[in-house]
Amino acid sequence: TGIAPLIGAIERLARSRRRAKVILGAESKAELLFLRKIEEAALTNPSLKFIPVTEDGSYGVKGDVAAAVESEAARGFRGQILTCGPEPMIRKILKFCAKRKIPLQASLERVMRCGIGLCGSCDVAGFRVCKDGPVFDLQALNLMVGELGAYKRDLAGKLVKI
């Protein structure tokens, strides 16, 4: 689902006229979800900078989202980072933000069987994504660093390497 959980926030930022950067990434241009919607939001608000990133270089910056986040933040950064998408990417962004004490919120996705916190299928290092999340801040994410982006649970709840 990638960027889907953040579309509402992006649209609100566009309407608010606040300064923000949106980095959207995928393997290729064809896989950039909500591309038109984010481009329209950027046109609505000149203070909203849109940075598309593709691994194959077919659109925008060639590379990966975590590297683009680091590059943009190195140019001077105030505020916080909101992220969602593949856990290995979130893990890289988490390590970057933790090192620089940049506030971070990440929306996690895990298999959720019961949806009420009983089965443990969505557990990440003791946090239940269905009940405690799905959005976690830097403090909680730091407690997940050993498992986040390295392990997941299969449909039976067994911990497996990603």
pLDDT tens readout for residues 107-141: 999 988 899 988 889 999 999 999 999 999 999 99
| pLDDT score at 143 | 98
Residue type at position 134: P
CATH architecture of 1-63: 3-Layer(aba) Sandwich (3.40)
pLDDT of residue 75: 87
Report pLDDT for 74. 87
pTM above 0.95, yes or no: no
Closest C-alpha among 96, 94, 89, 131 to residue 110: 131
- Decide: residue 41, CB within 10 A, 0-12 exposed, 13-18 middle, 19+ buried: buried
41's CB contacts (< 8 A; 6+ apart) are: 10, 11, 13, 14, 22, 48, 50
Asked if residue 110 lies in contact with residue 122, where contact means CB atoms within 8 angstroms, the answer is yes
User: What percent of the chain stands above pLDDT 70?
Assistant: 99
CB atoms under 10 Å from CB of 126, counted, come to 11
Average the pLDDT over 46-57 and give the result: 96
**Comma-separated ranges of CATH 3.40.50.80 domains in the chain:** 1-63
Structure tokens at 130: 């269905």
Determine the pLDDT at residue 1: 58
With cut-offs at 50, 70 and 90, classify the pLDDT of residue 76: confident
Q: Is the pLDDT of residue 72 over 70?
A: yes
Mean of pLDDT values over 87-97? 96
Give the number of C-alpha atoms closer than 13 A to the C-alpha of residue 88, restricted to the C-beta side.
5
For residue 100, the model assigns a pLDDT of 92
Average pLDDT over the chain, rounded to an integer: 94
The answer on pLDDT for 28 being more than 90 is: yes
